[in-house]
Amino acid sequence: QIPVPVLQISASQHPVKAGLSDAFMVLNPSPDVPESRRRTIYEYHRVELDTSRISSRTAVEFTPLPTCLQHQSCEMCVTSELTFNCSWCHVLQRYP
């Protein structure tokens, strides 16, 4: 049960995010404390849900789309009929 409708939650008090995202993390030395490390998260892709559709007794199903990772050559990658712009990295010999 959701005790408070999501749209009634103040974004300034507690921002609500619903969905999936891909990211990577980098640990950098902190300039303030040399022994510690600062964690920086770089998000590069996000799928957000419409928060007005979130209610009690609901579920969300994500269906993944095909990706370029399945291609083994430049030709297979650039001639694929995917719904986004594929690119090939010649140095890595794979999709970046």
Task: Express each pLDDT in 20-71 by its tens digit.
Answer: 888 888 888 877 777 778 888 888 778 888 888 888 888 888 877 666 667 7
pLDDT score at 27: 87
**Residue 19 pLDDT:** 81
d(CA 47, CA 62): 10
Q: Quote the pLDDT of residue 88.
A: 62
pLDDT value of position 41: 85
pLDDT at 83: 60
Please answer whether residues 77 and 68 qualify as being in contact, where contact means their C-beta atoms are separated by less than 8 angstroms.
Answer: yes
Q: Give the whole-angstrom CA distance, residue 17 versus residue 35.
A: 33
- Residue pLDDT, tens place only, 75-85: 777 777 766 66
In the prediction, which pLDDT does 85 show?
A: 63
